[in-house]
Amino acid sequence: MIEIADSYLAPEQFREVQAHLMGALWPWHFNTIIDGPEDENDPTKSQFTYSFFERREGWVNSREKVIWPITRKINPIAWLRIKANLNPWLQEQRQNSYHIDMNGMDNIPFWTSIFYVNTNNGYTLFKDGTKVESVENRLVTFPGTIQHTGCNCTDQKCRILINFNYIK
């Protein structure tokens, strides 16, 4: 049910994606919420995000070419959302709340894939106990109804991933 693909992109394709998302000119946006409104007053529950695609707006910027090697390889029937997350380093690891990415999609079977941009000691944890380490150029894919959560890193400056929600 949970599939892990290491070395998902060819090395040169991966390095280009990584260079963009970890570069000084990438336009990250500060977000005070990770899991829900209750995060608003917790300073450890913030992250930087970048939206590539939203189901109601379509492609929301002109930087989608950066992730074309990934989107072409996943090749779904329809995209629902594509969003990059940057979780800054924290002194202690803190696990977020379990969630599914696309609330309101109960009648439509969708999939989630997480592409890890850098290696760090953060991870993705599934409600069944499966733990997927943040390893660069790794893609984990699972049915979108499986609850999961993320955990920040303490060994790098940040944890960066791209979250893909789609219909196969």
For residue 12, the surrounding DSSP H or E stretch is helix 11-21
Each residue's pLDDT tens digit in the chain (168 positions)? 999 999 999 999 999 999 999 999 999 999 886 666 665 666 667 899 999 999 888 898 889 999 999 999 999 999 999 999 999 999 999 988 899 998 767 778 999 999 999 999 999 999 999 999 999 999 999 999 999 999 999 999 999 999 999 999
The predicted pLDDT at position 103 comes to 76
Cβ atoms within 10 Å, residue 71: 19
The predicted pLDDT at position 55 comes to 86
3-state secondary structure of 67: helix
- DSSP letter at 37 equals G
Q: pTM here?
A: 0.93
CA distance 142 to 69: 20
Backbone angles phi, psi at 79, to 5 degrees: -85, 145
Q: What homologous superfamily is domain 3-23+56-167 in, according to CATH? A: q2cbj1_9rhob like domain (2.60.120.620)
The predicted pLDDT at position 42 comes to 67
- CA 48 from chain centre, in angstroms, equals 11
The predicted pLDDT at position 36 comes to 61
The predicted pLDDT at position 110 comes to 95
For residue 124, give the nearest of 156, 155, 87, 90 by alpha carbon.
87
The predicted pLDDT at position 61 comes to 80
In terms of DSSP H, where are the helices of 22-150?
A: 68-74
HSE-up of residue 109 (Cα within 13 Å, Cβ side): 3
Q: Where are the domains of the chain?
A: 3-23+56-167
CA distance 82 to 63: 12
The predicted pLDDT at position 39 comes to 58
